[in-house]
Amino acid sequence: MKPHWQNIEPSPYALLLKSDEWREKRNHIVNRDENKCQKCNNESYINNSELDLYMSFQTTISAKKGNFILLRGEDERFVRKIDCTTESFKSTFQKGINFCFLNNSKYLIAVFQLDLCNTNKKKNSAFLEELLKIENFTMKGHRSDQLSKTLSKYQNLFKWPHTKYLNVHHKFYQKGNMPWEYEDEAFVTLCGACHQKTHEEETIYLYNENGKKIILTPCDRCDGTGEKPEYHYVQNGICFKCRGSRFIEELI
């Protein structure tokens, strides 16, 4: 007999979020927002104590299957080779310093990049000097509260060429609209933590065909996000209670 979680079917709305149309719209909004949460500016990646932080310079090797980024761990061994031939990575690793955020399984979830050729060379130098003063920090990578504070302090120098688990939040819903059938202004890019907080602190409305406001009730298991990223290995992290629909009420 199959485990009960293998029998969970996504809701009709959740299936629409798997469509090419939504994927295209989502990517457009995330690119517009420069791969950053518009509330915390990706502070959640820097301050999340569950993440390991590695730093690598532009280090690539040639291989039959293409170029790879090599990430070094504290024990000096290569922890992971990241395939840079895929479309999403072609423009990710450029000349500069890349801070690569990995989870406990060494899975890459974000890249935080300092361009050494940008116009803020004075601030770049100040950042690198401060970085090297951090106790026990070496260029192979080290995580500490002090390092997190330093990264936050100089965050305006960085770009975020790659992030995973960023959410595109609907500010409101219109009955009958497909998830992608909204103007760009109706969307905002949020990290998982800020997305959850938004649903806890703000009222999200559904407008019916007559323009009447209906207060939406977020799922109390996933807090209106439709997923549990920490369980991505089970049904891609879909919330079992709302089956990915995010709210108790029907959205379409």
Task: For residue 92, count other CB atoms closer than 10 A to its CB.
Answer: 17
Q: How far apart are CA 112 and CA 100, in angstroms?
A: 6
pLDDT band at 106 (very low <50, low <70, confident <90, very high): low
Is the model's pLDDT at 44 over the cut of 80?
Answer: yes
Q: How far apart are CA 165 and CA 37, in angstroms?
A: 10
Give every CB contact of residue 62 below 8 A, 6+ residues apart in sequence: none
Amino acid at 138: T
pLDDT band at 67 (very low <50, low <70, confident <90, very high): very low
Q: In this prediction, what percent of the chain has a pLDDT beyond 70?
A: 66
Query: pLDDT tens digits for 112-152?
Result: 877 655 556 677 778 777 776 765 554 444 556 777 788 88
Q: How far apart are CA 218 and CA 224, in angstroms?
A: 4
pLDDT band at 64 (very low <50, low <70, confident <90, very high): very low
Q: Are strands 213-215 and 97-102 parallel, antiparallel or unpaired?
A: unpaired
Give every CB contact of residue 109 below 8 A, 6+ residues apart in sequence: 45, 51, 101, 102, 103, 163, 164, 165
56 - beta bridge partners?
98
Helices 121-133 and 145-153, interaxial angle, to 10°? 170
Query: pLDDT tens digits for 160-215?
Result: 888 888 999 999 999 999 999 999 999 999 998 899 899 889 999 999 988 899 99
Is the model's pLDDT at 244 over the cut of 70?
Answer: yes
Label residue 74 left, alpha or beta by phi (over 0 means left) and psi (-120 to 50 means alpha).
alpha
Question: Which of 176, 173, 225 lies closest to 198, judged by CA?
Answer: 225
Is the model's pLDDT at 83 over the cut of 90?
Answer: no
Residue 203: what pLDDT?
A: 93
Q: How far apart are CA 164 and CA 94, in angstroms?
A: 19
